[in-house]
Chains A and B, each alone.
Chain A
Amino acid sequence: MVSTLIRVTGDWSLAEDCTAEAFEAALATWPRDGIPTNPGAWLTTVAKNRALDRLRRAATLARKLEEMTAVTELEHLDPELSDFPDDRLRLIFTCCHPALSLEARVALTLRTVGGLTTAQIARAFLVSEATIAQRIVRAKRKITEAAIPSRVPEAHLLAERLSGVLAVLYLAFNEGYSVVAHTSIADEAIRVTRALAQLMPGESEVTGLLALMLLQHSRRRARLDPGAVPLTLEEQDRSLWDAAAIAEAGELLNGAGRRAEPGPYQLQAAIASVHATADSAAATNWQTIVALYDRLLAVTPSPIVELNRAVAVGMASGPEVGLAALERVAASGALDGYYLLPAARADLFRRLGEYSTAASFYRIALAGAPTQPERDFFARRLDEVGG
């Protein structure tokens, strides 16, 4: 409802105010008169009428052509249509426009498309509610004042803009996923991505991202021990993994894979899917995972992907081969100072039984780990190898 009013009036605060007023009116009248047969249409009608009142008043004062056009369009809006999917799609592209800062895009998308409160978003990003509110207000002002359009980009821009939208959604998801208490953000990111996948069924990378999120989210009940310290895939109780989510992701990937050459999200989802469908870490098809990492590197070369590939090589062909692959990655210097490089070395030496070498690398990883759960994890490992 908000997205439709925004599209028609071009005025974000007007649209939000009128929608809020419609909900207030519902709270006041529904308990007395009963819930209408089509509550959505009832709300849209009330919000539309409020918007019309305000615009008519403003238009008489200013006689602005656009506002009169908006009035005409509002008058012809059919509230019986349950939703306006095209408006929602337009809104997603507006909220993720590259002319807005990345923080603003994430906050605005979660607030306006997802419907989270500023308080919820603030908690997830560890900033004050006022900061998030300010970010959203400034972004909306820029949308209006710089005339950021409300439309799905034309064909020549679509690939670039869509990948920007996916990056925002994945960032929001990871933000929610990295902190246990904020799974509402992860849920919301999945919901918006699901809506986007329904609105753009031909875009296989949207499907790929949805599958990737579902697969990561399927481990939410298994990924931490009772002390909230992360568990590796090897250590997790796989019976706690969400089988329905894993199955849905598998179907999504099969459907998307038939349509197009897989992009980075589909490939990452395919890797996650190999893990998710294995009965144990030992029974995992590591050769397939290495092959998928090779394809991922061909599409998006990155030292972090190379690091992950080397770890998979270690699982597929033994720790010595893994260490050799890791040394080739380290030689580039791109991962100097990155704590997951010593962490990977430590793990391979641990598997070789070279505990004192492993311990020295776990100490480096521990010193560089950015979050407390990760520090707890490396401390536990260090303990296990007798460091």
Chain B
Amino acid sequence: MKYMMFVATDPEAEPYDPAQDNIQEWVAEMVARGVNLHGDRLRPIEDATLVRVRNGEVLVTDGPFTESKEWIAGYDMLEAADLDEAIEIASKHPMARFGRIELRPVWPFEE
């Protein structure tokens, strides 16, 4: 079962502490277990670009983006046995403490 794990910031979470950031260990463990297929950080919202097609015309703009204090800071594609394993993986990620994590089951087209 594949889950997209969105790693997001959260102003209500505990403040980021580099000394408590165990992301390297997390990646090492999850890659070794074969549950993390791939993942990365994302550049901040200032570097984002909005693309729309309206009346056949491509509109490219620097926003507007939803005003939000929680923005997606990274993602990981997980391969887990079930939701409980995905929850266990997510709960060990440092951003579960410094931010928040959203697990979305992948919905393959062949279904």
B84 contacts A157, C-beta separation under 8 Å: yes
A149 contacts B82, C-beta separation under 8 Å: yes
| Residues of chain B with a CB closer than 8 A to A148's CB | 82-84
| Residues of chain B with a CB closer than 8 A to A147's CB | 1, 80, 82-83, 105
Interface presence of A264 (CB below 8 A): no
Interface presence of B107 (CB below 8 A): yes
Interface residues in A, total, Cβ within 8 A: 9
Q: Which one of B80, B81, B87, B107 contacts A145 once the chains associate, using CB atoms below 8 Å?
A: B107
| Residues of chain B with a CB closer than 8 A to A99's CB | 83, 87
Interface centre among B81, B82, B83, B105 (most CB of A within 10 A): B83
Task: State A97–B86 Cα separation when bound (angstroms).
Answer: 14
Q: Which of A133-184 contact B (CB under 8 A)?
A: 145-149, 153, 157
Interface residues in B, total, Cβ within 8 A: 10
> What is the number of contacts between chain A and chain B, taking CB atoms within 8 Å?
22
**Minimum Cβ distance to chain A for residue B91 (Å):** 11
Q: Which of B16-41 contact A (CB under 8 A)?
A: none
| Residues of chain B with a CB closer than 8 A to A146's CB | 83, 103, 105
**Minimum Cβ distance to chain A for residue B92 (Å):** 12
Interface centre among A97, A145, A147 (most CB of B within 10 A): A147
Task: State A148–B80 Cα separation when bound (angstroms).
Answer: 11
Chain A residue nearest to B107 (CB atoms) is: A145
**Minimum Cβ distance to chain A for residue B49 (Å):** 31
| Residues of chain A with a CB closer than 8 A to B1's CB | 147
A149 contacts B105, C-beta separation under 8 Å: no
Interface centre among B80, B87, B107 (most CB of A within 10 A): B87
Residues on B lying within 8 angstroms of A by beta carbon are 1, 80-84, 87, 103, 105, 107
CB<8 Å pairs between A and B, sample of 16 = A97-B83, A99-B83, A99-B87, A145-B105, A145-B107, A146-B83, A146-B103, A147-B1, A147-B80, A147-B82, A147-B83, A147-B105, A148-B82, A148-B83, A148-B84, A149-B81
Given contacts A146-B103, A148-B82, A149-B82, 8 further A-B contacts (CB under 8 A): A97-B83, A99-B87, A145-B105, A146-B105, A147-B80, A147-B82, A147-B83, A149-B83
